[in-house]
Amino acid sequence: MSTLAPGRHRTPTTGPDRTRRPRRHPLVAYLSSLSWSSLLYVAPALAFFGVFVLYPIGVSVWYSFYAYDGLTVGTWVGWGNYTAVFTDHQLRAALMHSLLLLVFYAALPVCAGLLLAGAMSRIRVYGLTVFRAVLFLPQILSSVVVAVAWRNLLAEDGPVNAVLRAVGLGRFATSWLGDFDTALPSIGVIGTWVEYGLCMVLFLSGIVAIDRSTYEAARLDGAGPVREFFSITLPALRPQISIALILTVTFALRNFDLIWNTTRGGPGTTTTVPSLYIYQDAFQNRMLGRASALAIVLTVVILVVVLAVQLSLRERDGGRRRPVRPGRKVQS
């Protein structure tokens, strides 16, 4: 039988360690928890991504600091190519054209997709699968095919002007892609027609996941179709709207083939976009350094716009409660 001096306590030999251990960084904890043998399964994909994505990006960044024509030895110019990008008024105008196309390529397709998805979720449509496939068809068509078809439709002697003349609106007939005032909006209409099907399918998939009892409760409270849409459907589609905006915004800012095969940036420079200047500088003017700098700037702009979309549509849990911990029992 052992005795302890007054005021001293026995140190427990078992039980949890009471000493505070230094907290590891989350990344270090995540890497230590990985099974490194499992990385062998993703190694081919990582190698493919590194060779065909990361390496070209790194080369483009390196070329952007040189005056390089692709044949002779490049000359170091530092930030000169980036200065030329930001001081060229034509490039600034091309960037403004891309920002204007965001209305046609992103905002209008999202609105049209919401309208179609909301209508098809309430109205019984016979042959809905076929109808939905037809509406989604523009998304899977080649951009070259779309551009050639719409170029013929919007020609001065094309079907659109023929219809306008047939209904007595011949004064509005014009060369839609060749007029300085209508060329850029016409390109935007083509983009709206291409992108609205994607948005519609995304929103339909989100509407299917909404609990139908929520709509029944809203109808019992006297809510009509419009109130149901804005109070139930629209908030529930926040993730799908975010994905749709990211895809359409990216398509709008990097769009090249649709414009190249319809107007080639004309008439004049009314439909030029940054991707068009990247192609011209790289393959026609032999200015690979400036083309690389413009490509890097365009990539940063796309990332900033996508980040802004994600932050603006992020779900906010304003009323999140902290977990209640059980308190100690008070001994009487």
Position 136 in a domain:
yes
pLDDT tens, position by position, 126-136? 777 788 888 88
Position 118 in a domain:
yes
In the structure, what pLDDT confidence band is assigned to residue 167 with cuts at 50, 70 and 90? Answer: very high
Query: pLDDT over 70 for what percent of the chain?
Result: 84
- Asked if the bond preceding 267 is cis, omega within 30° of 0, the reply is yes
pLDDT at position 208 is: 87
pLDDT tens, position by position, 66-118? 998 888 888 999 898 999 888 888 888 998 999 899 999 999 999 999 999 88
pLDDT at position 320 is: 43
Distance CA 201, CA 244 (A): 10
pLDDT tens, position by position, 7-19? 455 555 555 555 5
CA pseudo-torsion sign 152, 157, 160, 163: negative
pLDDT at position 323 is: 42
> What is the dihedral angle through the alpha carbons of 89, 305, 147, 186, rounded to the nearest 10 degrees?
-70
Residue 332 has pLDDT above 50, yes or no: no
pLDDT at position 315 is: 64
**Which residue segment(s) compose the domain that 105 sits in?**
88-272
pLDDT tens, position by position, 72-82? 888 999 898 99
Position 62 in a domain:
no
Indicate the number of domains in the chain: 1
Here the tokens at position 240 are 């799908």
Position 120 in a domain:
yes
Position 325 in a domain:
no
pLDDT tens, position by position, 306-322? 898 888 887 654 444 44
Position 38 in a domain:
no
CB 275 within 8 A of CB 256: yes
Q: In CATH, what number is assigned to the domain containing residue 260?
A: 1.10.3720.10
Strand partners, 76: 66
Position 279 in a domain:
no
Count of CB atoms within 10 A of residue 225's CB? 14
Q: Please report, as a single letter, which amino acid is at residue 41.
A: Y
Tell me the average pLDDT of the chain. 84
Position 48 in a domain:
no
